[in-house]
Amino acid sequence: MQPSWLEINLAALDHNLKLLRGLSPKAQTIAVIKADAYGHGAAALSKRLRLRGVERFAVATSAEALALRGSGLQEPVLQLGSLHPDDAADAAAARVTPTLVTREAAAAFAAALPGGRVQIKVDSGMGRVGVPPAELAPFVEFVEGLGLEVEAVYTHFAVADEDPLYTQKQLEAFLGAAASLPRRYPLHAANSAGVLSGIGADLDFVRLGIALYGLSPDMKSSERLRPILSWKARPTLVKRLAPGHSIGYGRSYITKKEEWIATLPFGYADGFRRSFSNNAYLRWEADYVAVVGRVSMDQTTVRLPRRASLSDVFEVVSADYDERTSLTARARQAGTIHYELATSLGKRLPRRYLEEE
């Protein structure tokens, strides 16, 4: 059994789903499980979400969708991002619903899958992917002229976690564009932050990513959401070192007195940043223990207040909003966001799924 692993609490996932559905009761949920469900494991999470009645999923690439098809996922899968014409055949093979915003991609997809289903994205102010609102109607006409079926039209918010005024303006621009169409298409706009702030949550679908995993989009702690992931490890070596002993590459830490040092079997290859060297804490029983020395590729060393045993469990990431050990705190410490930290959790860390609390 590998001594460093992730635990994913499926009961907490249920809790978050229920909460978010309660905030968007009119909408159908699209669970965003790209990047291996933000590092949590898309196959296992999609299975649980299906059991809880989720009927739609979204990924970023056709390869992600194909892998999920291999794991038994039959439900509709929306491929976010603008389809590239070169990806049309793979998208068709993976049975995804691609997002179209260019005529080239529309033509390529119509050739790869005549009569296929697609969605169209509008750029209402994100400036990344989408057709301009004024061009939506002619674009939909073009796509349908190719024989494709437009399943829904959607947009994406840029600052739903911080600027409700701008987000509301985006929503209005999107609804205005949708009103220019000759008929009513299913519509969606809200991501997690949209649902949590109530903007766009009453359209036909909502696209939920980060909040399903219990993380608050604005990086604040949440009373309502429950983080579903923790990262644990057992030491592979616990030793008492004499004063003046150096620890790790670069000799960046030298013991000041006799000290208990534990070596833990994870490093930056697992997603524990090198910048945490001499600059982070893990949880061990009731204590925080300091990382000492450099974090290396596969090993991290911590200073203990007393001897530990090899069967003790250290928490590298805690499933809460702890100010030192939560994923959110670690992200802040690393100068990034929890989305990035979660998606860079090492593939080699085993994921263990806990069914119950």
Q: Active-site residues: which are they? A: 34, 249
d(CA 345, CA 348): 9
Nearest approach, Cβ of residue 154 and ligand PLP (Å)? 8
Q: Which is nearer to ligand PLP, 156 or 273 (CB)?
A: 156
Nearest approach, Cβ of residue 122 and ligand PLP (Å)? 12
| DSSP H or E run through 15 | helix 10-23
Nearest approach, Cβ of residue 196 and ligand PLP (Å)? 9
Nearest approach, Cβ of residue 218 and ligand PLP (Å)? 10
Binding interface with ligand PLP (CB under 6 A): 32, 80, 156, 191-193, 207-211, 217
Residues 6+ apart with CB under 8 A from 125: 158, 166, 169, 170, 173
d(CA 288, CA 307): 14
d(CA 36, CA 33): 6
Q: Which is nearer to ligand PLP, 192 or 300 (CB)?
A: 192
Report the SS3 class of residue 347.
Answer: coil
- HSE-up (13 A, CA, CB side) for residue 187: 20
What are 129's two structure tokens?
């992917």
Contact yes or no for 56/31 (Cβ under 8 A): yes
Burial category of 115 from C-beta neighbours within 10 Å (exposed 0-12, middle 13-18, buried 19 and up) = exposed
Contact yes or no for 41/7 (Cβ under 8 A): no
Nearest approach, Cβ of residue 276 and ligand PLP (Å)? 24
- The DSSP bridge partners found for residue 198 are none
Nearest approach, Cβ of residue 162 and ligand PLP (Å)? 12
Residues 6+ apart with CB under 8 A from 129: 81, 82, 99, 101, 121, 123, 156
Q: Which is nearer to ligand PLP, 191 or 301 (CB)?
A: 191
What are 134's two structure tokens?
């004024």
CA end-to-end distance (rounded Å), the chain = 22
Q: Which is nearer to ligand PLP, 282 or 319 (CB)?
A: 319
Contact yes or no for 174/132 (Cβ under 8 A): no
Q: Which is nearer to ligand PLP, 171 or 261 (CB)?
A: 171
Q: Which is nearer to ligand PLP, 80 or 291 (CB)?
A: 80
Residue with tokens 């009119």: 26
d(CA 39, CA 215): 13
Q: Which is nearer to ligand PLP, 82 or 279 (CB)?
A: 82
Report the SS3 class of residue 67.
Answer: helix
Nearest approach, Cβ of residue 165 and ligand PLP (Å)? 19
